[in-house]
């Protein structure tokens, strides 16, 4: 018996909408990264992008546990002396919560050309509105409430 390896013509991609309201950031990121990789499908193959498209809405209502809002820091370094910029997550989440969710999910994907292809299937939005109705996305409840 031969091991099944997915080929690009075998892959059927779906669109999912994930509501991030009241969900912990890390848990959301790991679940969405698994969908982007395709680990929820029986045809999952590690070296092939078998994942689906994911739309994350309500990123501004995502939750960080403990004191992470005040202790966790986003760093940006330009490469020059004195070029380190730091931002506390309370301010970062208030201004760019969709970018914070995007970066959390991106950090859980492979760091190679396959991971760069997977992240292109992710869309994040601050509010509850998105402009992908034409793709007929299915609502995906990752965390049964």
Q: What is the pLDDT of residues 111-144, one digit of tens each?
A: 999 999 999 999 999 999 999 999 999 999 987 6
- Return the ∠ at Cα 17 (arms to 37 and 103), rounded to 5°: 55
What percent of the chain is modeled with pLDDT above 70? 99
pLDDT digits (tens, 9 = 90+) for 28-71: 999 999 999 999 999 999 999 999 999 999 999 999 999 999 99
As its CATH architecture, domain 14-63+97-139 has Alpha-Beta Complex (3.90)
> For residue 66, is it left (φ>0), alpha (ψ between -120 and 50) or beta?
left
80-104 pLDDT tens trace: 999 999 999 999 999 999 999 999 9
The answer to whether residue 145 scores a pLDDT higher than 60 is: no
């Amino acid at each position: 018996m031969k091991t099944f390896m997915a080929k690009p013509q075998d892959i059927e991609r779906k669109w999912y909408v994930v509501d991030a309201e009241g969900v912990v950031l890390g848990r959301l990121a790991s679940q969405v990264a698994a969908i982007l990789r395709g680990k929820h499908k029986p045809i999952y193959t590690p070296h092939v992008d078998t994942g689906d498209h994911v739309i994350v809405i309500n990123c501004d209502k995502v939750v960080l546990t403990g004191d992470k809002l005040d202790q966790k820091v986003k760093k940006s370094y330009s490469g020059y002396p004195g070029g380190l910029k730091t931002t506390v997550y309370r301010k970062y989440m208030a201004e760019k919560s969709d970018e914070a969710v995007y970066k959390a999910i991106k950090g859980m994907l492979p760091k190679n050309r396959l991971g760069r292809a997977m992240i292109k299937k992710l869309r994040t939005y601050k509010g509850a509105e998105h402009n992908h109705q034409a793709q007929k996305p299915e609502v995906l409840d990752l965390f049964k409430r």
